[in-house]
Amino acid sequence: MGAHMRYGMNPHQAAEVTGGPRVLNGEPSMINYLDALNASALVREADAATGLPAAASFKHVSPAGAAVAGTIDDVASETWRISDEGGLISAYVRARDADPKSSFGDVVALSRPVDVATAEFLRSVICDAVIAPGYEDGAVEVLSEKRAGRFLVFEADAAEPPRRERRDLLGAVLEQDRDAADVAAALPDGLLDEAGRRDALLGMVAARYTQSNSVVLVRDGAAVGIGAGQQNRVDCVRLAGAKARVWWLRRHAFVRELPEVAGMRRQDRLNWQIRFAGEEMTRAQRAEFAELFGAEASDRYADAGWRDAWCADITGVTLVSDGFLPFRDNVDHAAEFGVSTIVEPGGSTRTDEVAAAAAEHGISHVQTGLRLFRH
């Protein structure tokens, strides 16, 4: 019998855990463990593949965002009230900013030890847990004060995971080799420049830890759109693209300069910006939006022209697919989201058609021969 968990998948399910990361604060549930373990593996592999500090924002056993350290742009800096040009904290800000609606209440994974400044930042955002390979003096104390002392702090196990993994499911015992394929070795040399290879590797690692089917869109070292768990691949592309489009539209002046509303919390403002950028409002929300932000903003919401014009300028996006692209419509949709490179296993009966479609759109098409399904 293992150690007691707060509960299993749901509060009515009792649960125990054997092994796993060390719990430094709080009482995790099963989903907390699943998110922490998968997220920790993602950032560990992303750091090893790129040589850069890595972070992930995890929700319901898939990443909402993943990134390596880099410059925090003006919009993210303005949103999260922090500036950084390459430290550990920048990786998480870039990961969270990709899809802040989904990242609300996330598990944070960091590939390197947490310093006090990063701990202070995590205390300022709505997240439920953090997992990292270590904590500098004072960091755990800062984090332990969050959520009235219930914030979850995990310390990742430095040991390599076992070679085999097993799952008990409805009376069946399933066992397989752990997916330890070398993504860097699978990515052909000489086809991508240094930045392109970094983005491809980050996308491949993120796809490995995303519920299949999945597609990851990466730009400048950050996954700006992740389509997870869809039953057909083109829906993955469209979902990832829609998220990347909203991320890009949040950089437009119309979205950035929505009037400030007294007393409105940061997450509420972010949610309104996302609804405005993505044309996601119900009739009731449109009426509330007009009341909060004024007639000019309401009129802009109804005008799609500025969105299409702005999104025509997004470029340099790498699309990584965990499985082969079965039809050219995946490529046609990808082209509308600024994709310049596609990385996929290849090997389908229609891969020649997919490669030809990529060439028509001026998209580099890279085949790895490596499928990265996760269920």
**Per the structure block, which two tokens stand in for 94?**
């870039």
Residue among 146, 213, 330, 333 flagged as catalytic: 213
Q: Give the Å distances, CA to CA, from 324 to 180, 320, 371.
A: 19, 10, 8
Run of H or E residues at 258: none
DSSP of 41-107: HHHHHHHHHHSS-EEEEEETTEEEEEEES-BPPHHHHHHHT---BSSHHHHHHHHHHHSTTTTTTEE
How many whole angstroms separate alpha carbon 31 and alpha carbon 11?
A: 11
Residue among 25, 32, 38, 59 flagged as catalytic: 59
**Per the structure block, which two tokens stand in for 7?**
């509960």
How many whole angstroms separate alpha carbon 304 and alpha carbon 10?
A: 42
DSSP 134: -
Q: Give the Å distances, CA to CA, from 331 to 209, 238, 319, 340, 355.
A: 23, 10, 10, 10, 9
Q: Give the Å distances, CA to CA, from 136 to 44, 47, 113, 242, 375.
A: 18, 19, 7, 38, 35
Burial of residue 71 (CB within 10 Å: 0-12, 13-18, 19+) is: middle
Residue 361 appears among annotated catalytic residues: no
Beta-carbon count within 10 A of 180 CB: 10
Q: Rounded to 10 degrees, what is the CA torsion of 239, 340, 58, 326? A: 50
How many whole angstroms separate alpha carbon 185 and alpha carbon 240?
A: 26
Q: Which positions are annotated as active-site residues?
A: 59-60, 213, 375
